[in-house]
Each structure stands twice: as structure tokens, then as C-alpha cells.
Amino acid sequence: MTKSIFVSLFALASVTGLQQAAADDGRTSLFLVDRAGVIGTTTTSPAFDFRGPFFQSLGTNGRSCASCHRAAQGWGISAEEVAARFAATRGLDPIFRANDGSNCDHNIEPSTVEGRRRAYSLLTGRGLIRVTVAAPANAEFNVISVLNPYGCGDTSTLSLYRRPLPSTNLRFLSTVMWDGRESSTQTGTQKIAFPTNPGDLLADLAHQSVDATNGHAQASTPPTPQQQQAIVDFEMALATAQAIDSQAGKLDDDGATGGPAALGTHTAAAFFVGINDPLGGNPHGTTFTPVIFSLFDAWLSGRSHGDDGRAARRASMARGQALFNSKPIDITGVAGLNDDLNADHIPGTCGTCHDSPNVGNHSVSAPLNIGVGDVDSPLDVRYLPVMTLQNKTTLQIKTTTDPGRALITGLWKDVGRLKGPILRGLASRAPYFHNGSAPSLADAVDFYDARFHIGFTPQEKRDLVAFLNAL
């Protein structure tokens, strides 16, 4: 049944433009305009508490979690919005802090607008935050050089340029952070696994809230256990997805099941770690299905009320969904798959890696290197530093723009491996990939086409992009 969206203006300084509405299922929803239409978030809490610790400055530099995790950008940030924030505040909003917001923390001129514009160019241009990670002392490799165009070329503590991951849809996580560092014994956190979930996840998120407050917000005292709990409760209650497409209309209309409501209820209730693992990791032994998304099945026929533009757009999304679920991809050279399975070619689809039903992340922790951070990526990564690593035993050399999981485990085979993120709410938070190297979803699709020689037709690309925009 379609329910009408009643939005009332909810004015609050730190969350300008937020709209909050009580839906007829008793849940509260937020609807905000994005590039493709409207992004929606539901909460299982009675209301959104915009005054809780997630929105408070808990450190010393004025930042809150919401400086980098914003409802209108699917609880991440978009480069476009950050650039607008720079313009509106002349680069003085608390996101513009040199500890990790600037390209480097030294040799910058933060006292003038021009100086700030230069210092924060990766944040305003690509939505990137500088994450610093030291290689473990017992690593299988040495970092032998770092060529960083912005300075910050230290080889013991590396500067990595990464996109904030959305602080929503967290129920579906099989690892926390791009490199899984908040779900790793090496950092005193827990691996997320079927028997211990969701307790492992909740503990990891509490730990993450402390690290984020100490790091991003430069706190002198960590958040209290009560504050940690309130932050985790707030985040865990959220479900976010594109709710309306400006051409296709409501994404849960006419039998379709897009939008945040179905995600937060049915999909969340059905989820468990390993729910659809291609390598046989389902704890109940259920076999893998490549049919990951079923949101727009009802629109495949192309039949719809009203004007033709809407019907055409809906049919395009449904075709895009079918491509995601079935277009053959010859997976080669992916660290974490081809090497671990000792197979040069693995016949797959998008869902071989994005396997969680109607969510699209990996349903078990499986860090992979698909080549996004490789120096020879089909996308332009020349704005990133180049790091050269050498294996201590074999003396083999690897160059990369981000060693990824290897900086946590110290393992040579983990160089460049990162998690596949949740594929919901994409339209609200460009650019894409951990390093922001795909400015648009069309660029992300072009990356796959070039990297895996898929051979998408122009029409197939348009359909796939229409589908990704509707997630």
C-alpha cells in the first residue's frame, strides 16, 4: 500500500533543511532532496534525536559526527556539499580542520581563504579525509618510499585519503571501516561473525565512536560509556535508501520495494552474517544466488500508470537490476579472490562481491583489491600519493595508492584489499570508491567495464546507472 509522504519542516541549525515526518507504520522518516530525487532515512527510534551525542561537539575542534556523516548525503558526505559548505563558511566550518581534513597537516596556510582553498582541495574536490595508519612493526613488508604531492610523505605513519563510509544501514555490516580496522583483533576489536553477531558489531561500533571522537574531533577525554551507547543506538536505528527518483517517482510504488522502509524492516529482519556468501560461508549451508536485488522486479514489464517518461525510467531501472544480477563478469587479478582461490578466471557477476540481498555489501568479511587504488587503475588516481612496499623475505615490490588491509594485518597478500561497501543511498553521496576516484556512478560503471572488459552497451550502462541511482 502506498502511503503519502507528509513532510513538515524541521528547523534546527546544525541540520538545515531536514524534514521529519511520522509515517503510518509508526516509524519516523526523514526525506531530503538529492541529485536523483529524494533520499529517505527511517529510524526504529520514536524520533530522530538531533540533540544527542552524535550531533554534539565532544572534542576540542568543534566537530561532531555529523560534520562528516550527514543525513542529506546518505549519512556520509558528497564532495559537492562539502564544496558548498566551504563557500558558505569561507572554509571555516569545523570539517575544515588540519588534523585530517586538509591534504596534509603541515606547509599549509590556513589563515587565508585562498590558503584554505588549497589546503582542503581533496576534501572539497573528492570528499576525502586523511586517515593515518602506521604499518605494524612485524609486517611482512617495509614501506620503502612515499611520494605524496601534498607533503605527508612519512613512511612509518602513512597518510591515506579515504571517503567517509555512511553511518547508516549498519545492521548489515560484516566489517567496520574500509580496511576493517575496527573489526580486527590487531586493534583490540572483534571480527564480525555469525555466532557472535550482533554483539561483535555493537562492541566494534562503540570502540569506533571512541576512536572517531579522539581522532576526528581531537578530544582530550574519550566519550563516556553513556555517550558511546547513545551514539551506537542512534546509528543502529537508521535505515537509508533512495526514496523517490525524480523521473520514476516513488521507488516503492506499483509493487516495487525500493526506499528505506522495506530496507529497515523486512531486509534487516532477514539479514544474518553469511546470508549469501558465494564461497559457501552461509552458516545454514544455503547455496549462493547471484540474484542480489529484487526491488524493481514489478517494473520489468514496463507497464505503469501515467506518462511514458515515468514508465520508461522504471523499465530502465528494472533492466539495470537484471544486469547487476546476471551480466557475466570474468573476474581476474582480484586479490582476495583469484589468488586465494588459485584461479586465474572466476566467472561471476556484480553479486559475486556485492552479495548481501538488497543491500549489496559482502555478507561475510572479505577484503578485496579490485584495482581502484592501483597506480594503473582505469580511473585517474594521479591526485593520490604513491607508496612503494617491499616484501621483507622475497624482496618483491608493490606500488599502490593505499595499502588497505595490509596496514592492519601486516600481511603482504592483503596489500590494496578493502571492503566492498553497502550499495544503498548512492545517489546522495558522490564521488565513489574508497578514494573518490569515480566522480559519478557512470564513472564507476565505466571503471568496471574497462577493468574487467565486460562489454556493456551504452544502453546497458544507462540502465545500470539508473538502477544504482535508485538504491
Q: How far apart are CA 76 and CA 207, in angstroms?
A: 19
Binder among 70, 85, 116, 162 for ligand HEC (CB under 6 A): 162
Provide the grid cell at 364: 561475510
Is residue 434 within the footprint of ligand HEC (CB under 6 A)? Answer: yes
> Where does this chain touch ligand HEC (CB under 6 A) — which range of 63-71, 82-90, 109-117, 195-203?
63-71
| Shortest distance in whole angstroms from residue 335 CB to ligand HEC | 10
**Contact letters for ligand HEC, residues 192-211 (x by CB under 6 A):** -------------x--xx--
Q: How far apart are CA 65 and CA 70, in angstroms?
A: 8
Is residue 236 within the footprint of ligand HEC (CB under 6 A)? Answer: no
Nearest residue (CB) to ligand HEC, 242 versus 304: 242
Q: How far apart are CA 42 and CA 38, in angstroms?
A: 13
**Contact letters for ligand HEC, residues 115-154 (x by CB under 6 A):** --------------x-x-----------------------
Residue ranges in 108-224 assigned as alpha helix (H): 113-119, 121-126, 199-215
Binder among 461, 468, 469, 470 for ligand HEC (CB under 6 A): 468
DSSP category for residue 70: B
For residues 76 and 234, the answer to whether their CB atoms sit within 8 Å is no
For residues 334 and 342, the answer to whether their CB atoms sit within 8 Å is no
For residues 54 and 231, the answer to whether their CB atoms sit within 8 Å is yes
- Buried/exposed code over 392-409 (b: 16+ C-beta within 10 A; e: otherwise): eeeeeebebbbbbbbbbb
| SS3 track for 375-414 | CCCCCCCCCCCEEEEEECCCCCEEEECCCECHHHHCCHHH
| Shortest distance in whole angstroms from residue 250 CB to ligand HEC | 23
Instruction: Please name the helix (run of DSSP H) or strand (run of DSSP E) that holds residue 86, with its range, or none.
Output: helix 79-89
Looking at the DSSP bridge assignments, the partners of residue 438 are 432
Is residue 171 within the footprint of ligand HEC (CB under 6 A)? Answer: no
In 3D, which of 79, 53, 1, 109 has the Cα closest to residue 438? 79
Is residue 421 within the footprint of ligand HEC (CB under 6 A)? Answer: yes
Provide the grid cell at 183: 573489526
Nearest residue (CB) to ligand HEC, 299 versus 324: 324
Q: How many residues bind ligand HEC (CB under 6 A)?
A: 53
Is residue 216 within the footprint of ligand HEC (CB under 6 A)? Answer: yes
| Shortest distance in whole angstroms from residue 144 CB to ligand HEC | 23
Is residue 165 within the footprint of ligand HEC (CB under 6 A)? Answer: yes
Is residue 230 within the footprint of ligand HEC (CB under 6 A)? Answer: no
Provide the grid cell at 197: 553477531
Q: How far apart are CA 234 and CA 255, in angstroms?
A: 30
Binder among 18, 143, 212, 389 for ligand HEC (CB under 6 A): 212
Is residue 79 within the footprint of ligand HEC (CB under 6 A)? Answer: no
Binder among 444, 451, 466, 470 for ligand HEC (CB under 6 A): 444
Residues 315-354 binding ligand HEC (CB under 6 A) are 324, 329, 331, 334, 337, 348, 350, 352-354
Helix-helix angle 199-215:225-236, to 10 degrees: 120
Residues that bind ligand HEC (CB under 6 A): 63, 65, 67-69, 100-101, 129, 131, 162, 164-165, 167, 173, 176-179, 205, 208-209, 212-213, 216-217, 231, 235, 324, 329, 331, 334, 337, 348, 350, 352-354, 368, 370, 372-373, 418, 420-421, 423, 426, 432-434, 444, 448, 464, 468
